[in-house]
Amino acid sequence: MPHRAVIHIDLDAFFTSVELKRHPELKGKPIIVGGTGDPASRGVVSAASYEARKYGVRSGMPLKRAKRLCPEAVFLPVDFESYERESERFMAMLHEYTPLVESFGLDEAFLELEFAEPGKDTLPRALKTAEEIKWRIKKELGLTASAGIAPNKLLAKMASEMKKPDGLFCMKTNDVARIFRDLPVRRLPGVGPKTEARLLRMGIKTIGELADSEPLWLERNLGPTTGKTLHEHSRGIDASPVVPFHEPESVSREVTFEEDTGDIHFIRETLYELTEDVTSRLKERGYRCMAVTIKIRFSDFNTITRSTTLRELTDSMNDIWQATLTLLEETEFPGKVRLVGVKASKLTHRKTD
């Protein structure tokens, strides 16, 4: 598909930006969101403002350590309900431009635009659309976003990271070799710490070096799937479609961490809060569920789901959390985690029980 136009939109420092809307007096100060907002508690950092990140504060870090690194920081509790309201407004805005919207958590999405004249260069028109979306996000939502425009999802994602925060970058196919040449191989989506270490042992430090490597040699050393995929990605090749996500017969919540984490306590705490929200929604809408699913996306973008069927219909937080926790405990973690989610499905309305 030579005339694709994909936009990747990523809300900047989403959790902390939402908090700043409610607390404008904190603008310019280091803000850390996590747990109950008490840095002396056992909680972990869910999000940190750019000012706090300068001190080394990162998602998944214990709040106590974050306090030591940045003693002047303002600590705030996690408020998923507020973040979700803002996310719903954000996603509704994106759907005004195209039905092809693939969301990744609350604050990130791909859009694929379709134009009536496919023979013309679509990227300039996509660039204007991205500019308009960014302007509306700032005006209507009071937030900022970084956007990347490119012929495929891989390049759009990398383009959106080029000029954060509040950035806008268009990456054309002809620009790939020049832009990728000296970038560290870790910048390529799908290259986590373990893959990076293997590539470094193979003498590959940059994406350009990866692109120049023999595909068969990569496949022998990294496996046929990984080797082939990384070689294609290093050259900007990605045919994956933008897939809209619709689940009208389920209630789900997911969140993308600002930074990949291997802290199982943080992952469990986040899943608990997501489960609370899902359960609350079930009760508000008058539904009970018969199945529970967890979703986990790792740093290499590999995504798994684990599901279980309950013994009976329920809207009990205790029942749904026990199912979620059991699924989590049965899951192996080959690497750090980027996203987690919980879904209640096989719903029955109380009126039809």
Which residue, among 266, 256, 260, 253, has the nearest Cα to 34 in the 3D structure? 266
Q: Quickly tell me which residue has 């990456």 as its tokens.
A: 171
Q: 127 is written with which tokens?
A: 């660039």
Surface-to-core class of residue 175, CB atoms within 10 Å of its CB (0-12 exposed, 13-18 middle, 19+ buried)? middle
Q: How far apart are CA 31 and CA 28, in angstroms?
A: 9
CA distances from 124 to 94, 169, 173, 236 (A): 18, 11, 13, 19
Q: Quickly tell me which residue has 């136009």 as its tokens.
A: 5
Which residue, among 284, 258, 223, has the nearest Cα to 81 in the 3D structure? 284
Q: How far apart are CA 117 and CA 324, in angstroms?
A: 48
- Contact between 34 and 53 under an 8 Å Cβ cutoff? The reply is no
Residue 75 β-bridge partners: 32
Cα 347 versus chain centre, distance: 27
CA angle (29 as vertex; 24, 31 as ends), nearest 5: 90
Identity of residue 24 = P
Write down the catalytic residue from 51, 86, 108, 269. 108
- Contact between 211 and 189 under an 8 Å Cβ cutoff? The reply is no
Identity of residue 212 = D
Strands 5-11 vs 74-76: parallel, antiparallel or unpaired: unpaired
Q: Catalytic residue at 140?
A: no
Q: Which run of H or of E encompasses 68? A: helix 63-69
Residue 348 β-bridge partners: 288
Cis peptide before 165 (omega within 30 of 0): yes
Active site residues: 108
